[in-house]
Amino acid sequence: MTDIERDAREYWALLHAAPNGWGQHVHPRYGASHYMLLVMCQRHGKEAFDAALDATRVSVLAQA
C-alpha cells in the first residue's frame, strides 16, 4: 500500500467514525477532518489525493 492510499483510507475511516459532541470528526494527529484534508492535499497534491479518495472509496465503504 502506498502512502497516499494509506492516507486516503485513514481519511475515509475518520469520516465514517462517530463524530464528537459538536458533530466534528477529529483525528488524533491532524485535528478536525477539514484540516486533515488540507494537510493531505498539501502533502500529496490536491488532484492526486482526490484521485486516491475516489480509488479507495468503494473498498473502505465495503469494510464499514
What integer pLDDT is reported at residue 24 of this predicted model? Answer: 97
- Going from N- to C-terminal start, the domains of the chain cover 3-63
13 near 56, Cβ under 8 Å?
Answer: no
What integer pLDDT is reported at residue 23 of this predicted model? Answer: 96
Query: pTM for the complete prediction?
Result: 0.87
Write out the chain's pLDDT in tens, 64 residues: 999 999 999 999 999 999 999 999 999 999 999 999 999 999 999 999 999 999 998 766 666 5
What integer pLDDT is reported at residue 57 of this predicted model? Answer: 87
Residues 39, 30: Cα–Cα separation, whole Å: 8
Closest to 2 (Cα-Cα) out of 51, 58, 36, 37: 51
What integer pLDDT is reported at residue 26 of this predicted model? Answer: 97
